[in-house]
Structure 1
Amino acid sequence: MARHPVRAKDFAVGEEPATVVVGLIASPGPAAEMAEALVGGLARQMGERLPGARWSVRVVADRLVGGPAPLHELVARTRRRLLDGGWQLAVFLTDLPLQTARRPVVAHASSAHGVAVLSLPALGAVGVERRADEAIVRLVAVLVGGGDAPVDVKPSGDDGGGKHRDALLRRLRELGTVAGDDRGAGLVTGVITGNLRLLIGMLRANRPWRLAVELSRALVAAVAAGVFALVTNDIWLLADNLGWLRQTLVGAGSVLAVVLTLLLGADLWERAPPQRDPEVVRATREQVVLLNAVTVTTLVIGVLALYCALFVLSLVSVLLLVPPGLHAAALDHPTGFSDQVELAWLVSALATLGGALGAGLESDETVREAAYAYQPDRSLTG
């Protein structure tokens, strides 16, 4: 497929392409030597595959970890190095194998964090430099495009390619733009509104709807709490007397409890490291605000998906397992479908609170891998 160069009409009059800085972190030794050998051509290759920005690649020799480490720790260390350098993206070349619970992989990318990890030993013994060069460019493309699909820019004559191309140009522009206000709410508002498409792309890459399925202990605790609540007469009476306003508050409180348990328990809230350079400080704060917004939104959507699933399950259980006559006798008045919905709502809220207790038992690694979708480079591992 032919690459399509950036043309003048792709930008507004007087608008210059944004500069996207990619930090290439390499373990001291052969990995760092390879990074130094590759750095000259990487910016050019990124510009060919991802036109719409000026690409700058900076090489840093740093082992980041002392020995084999789980994937979430490598991502966290790479992310911290990214913030320290004030970069937009980072790729870590490690001489260690990637430690994951799944089958061995060569590379992983986290669009939310803007970082990727590449294991050089997994590339084999032949053509390592060439394969590493291709892998780095492809990983950067995944981080920018938010998916595994190729992101080469197609000519505008292709409708689908034209839309993809426009979206990519916007995202590159947002990625390389620093918010103008570095104070409080002004920064937060500027980051969210000015990087809305970037935020949505990062959020979509996280796949928040799969959060509950990945957290097995939270799911088991939620189901157990729901079953207990369903067969308790006091819960039937409580659901009948709370009213919808209090029911809504209970539901919102249960969702908030799970979100806070995951956010604080696994230390997902990112803080900006101290910096001296004002430009780096501003860029770092924008990166931190953007990731925190994505993290909180991911957790809220994931927990709401859990709540909705529990509500449907609870309603079906009420309809099938709670005889209307027994329900009416317990409440001391005739019951209808609205009473069953009230009971199912309260049961699902209590089940979600049970999920918060289960979430507290999850390991930090499990929560992080559930909250952030790490995308394996299948073209290398397949």
Structure 2
Amino acid sequence: MADAAAPAVVVGVVAAPGAAADVGQHLVADLTDDLADQLPTVAWKIAYAEDGLVQPPADDAELVAAARKLLLAEDWDLAVCLTDLPLASSGRPVVAHASPVHGVALISVPALGPVGLRRRTRTTAMALIRTLAGETDEEPGAEEPPSGPLGRRLRELAAEPDAEDVSEGAWFTARVLSGNLRLLLGMVRANRPWRLATRLSRALTATIAAGVFALVTSDIWRLADTLGWARMTAVAVGSVLAIGVTLIVGAELWERSTDPRVRKQVALFNLATTATVAIGVVSLYAALFVLALPIALLLVAPGLFADALGHAVGVGDYLELAWLTSSLATVGGALGAGLETDEAVREAAYTYRPNTPAE
């Protein structure tokens, strides 16, 4: 049993007027019991609001954004939203999904069916709360031991910043990072950042075009031979920063709030977003290098390569060419990312993990 005096995780239940609100009233009582029984590591508080959040038609990203705005306004830690709108994942209808970075889960009440509605909503909501806390398929889904990974992340989520902490900016962010490391790792892992680039078609197209151009251009071969390792490293870091900043700034992924109550929430969101983009871009860069090296060995004939460089070539020369090609391709990806719509970047950056109906 959690200590009643300990900091609590506040879960907001938001229900659209109508049938969803009828279910939401029961869900508040059900979650109060289930969370105390299954996740006793922390104290729990359940808040309730009746709000449609958006005017239909609206997509899932709009619902998540509206729920996130309400979460910050009410100073909740997590939000579970019951909507009468349909939800989709990869173009297919789903019952529910969660965005761990936003701390928001959505449940489409009509998709649960007419039979056993209260039970299905209750089971689905519990699964979504676990997902929001960063639980993976490998972790247990039953009662969480206090020493388990989910329990440790929940304690970090419940912990309140020191009331006397007046640090600002980078200092406060560093304190949030050090004090919520497990929670952040769970949020980022659930967000599947390594899939970021594959969901940005324009950025990928520009990346491939720039990479092909670099591989077949003799001037690039000579540049790779003469730059040196220090400059090559600087170009690589610069290319990764270019596409990362383009995605975060261009799509306005950085969250701001002047309310001191939600400083921790905003800092967690920005840290998770930055980590997601950084891991996604680095994964793209690594994949480009792995692809560029064998393609360079296949397409760039040693004799032609040696004539362009003016000396005999070896594996090191091909490694340098693959390295510079990866950097230039990443720069091309940054240009392509600038052409992506804000909605496309947000959908790529934030993974909505679908949930199927509970039987």
Q: TM-score, normalised by structure 1?
A: 0.87
Q: In 2, are the aligned partners of 1:50 and 1:151 still within 8 Å (CA)? A: no
Kindly provide the CA deviation profile for residues 140-176 of structure 1, in whole angstroms up to 9, marking residues without a partner as x. Answer: 122124335653236xxxxxxx6x8522221111111
Q: Which residue of 2 aligns with 1:304?
A: 282
Are the structure 2 counterparts of residues 189 and 53 from structure 1 closer, same or farther at C-alpha, using a change threshold of 3 Å? Answer: same
* Aligned pair partner of 2:301 in 323, 337, 346: 323
Partners of 2:147 and 2:198 in 1: CA distance: 34
Aligned amino acid, residue 376 of structure 1: P
Partners of 1:182 and 1:128 in 2: CA distance: 47
Partners of 1:129 and 1:317 in 2: CA distance: 56
* Aligned pair partner of 1:233 in 218, 233, 248: 218
Secondary structure of residue in 2 paired with 1:223:
helix
Unaligned ranges ≥5, structure 1: 9-14, 155-161, 276-280
Kindly provide the CA deviation profile for residues 104-136 of structure 1, in whole angstroms up to 9, marking residues without a partner as x. Answer: 001011111111001111112233233222222
Higher mean Cα deviation, 363-372 or 338-347? 363-372
Are the structure 2 counterparts of residues 37 and 217 from structure 1 closer, same or farther at C-alpha, using a change threshold of 3 Å? Answer: same
Kindly provide the CA deviation profile for residues 328-352 of structure 1, in whole angstroms up to 9, marking residues without a partner as x. Answer: 1112222222222111111111111
Q: Which residue of 2 aligns with 1:278?
A: none
Kindly provide the CA deviation profile for residues 156-215 of structure 1, in whole angstroms up to 9, marking residues without a partner as x. Answer: xxxxxx6x8522221111111112224313321210000011111111111111112222
* Aligned pair partner of 1:31 in 9, 20, 42: 20
Q: Which residue of 2 aligns with 1:288?
A: 266
Q: Does 1:212 align with 2:194?
A: no
Are the structure 2 counterparts of residues 26 and 361 from structure 1 closer, same or farther at C-alpha, using a change threshold of 3 Å? Answer: same
Q: Which residue of 2 aligns with 1:106?
A: 95
Are the structure 2 counterparts of residues 150 and 169 from structure 1 closer, same or farther at C-alpha, using a change threshold of 3 Å? Answer: closer
Partners of 2:108 and 2:357 in 1: CA distance: 14
Aligned amino acid, residue 345 of structure 1: W
Q: Does 1:70 align with 2:48?
A: no
Kindly provide the CA deviation profile for residues 229-267 of structure 1, in whole angstroms up to 9, marking residues without a partner as x. Answer: 111111112111211111111111111111111112221
Q: In 1, are the aligned partners of 2:53 and 2:66 still within 8 Å (CA)? A: yes
Q: In 1, are the aligned partners of 2:8 and 2:43 still within 8 Å (CA)? A: yes
Are the structure 2 counterparts of residues 29 and 331 from structure 1 closer, same or farther at C-alpha, using a change threshold of 3 Å? Answer: same
> RMSD of the TM alignment (CA)?
2.0
Higher mean Cα deviation, 113-122 or 29-38? 29-38
Q: Which residue of 1 aligns with 2:130?
A: 141
Higher mean Cα deviation, 81-90 or 334-343? 334-343
Aligned amino acid, residue 206 of structure 2: A
Aligned pairs, number:
355
Q: TM-score, normalised by structure 2?
A: 0.93
Q: In 1, are the aligned partners of 2:134 and 2:187 still within 8 Å (CA)? A: no
Kindly provide the CA deviation profile for residues 53-77 of structure 1, in whole angstroms up to 9, marking residues without a partner as x. Answer: 1111111111110112121111111
Partners of 1:167 and 1:311 in 2: CA distance: 34
Q: In 2, are the aligned partners of 1:25 and 1:92 still within 8 Å (CA)? A: yes
Map 1:1-382 to 2 at 5 A.
Answer: 17-148=6-137, 150-153=140-143, 165-180=147-162, 181-184=165-168, 185-272=170-257, 274-275=258-259, 281-282=260-261, 284-380=262-358
Q: In 2, are the aligned partners of 1:69 and 1:98 still within 8 Å (CA)? A: no
Partners of 2:233 and 2:272 in 1: CA distance: 25
Partners of 1:330 and 1:142 in 2: CA distance: 55
Secondary structure of residue in 2 paired with 1:90:
strand
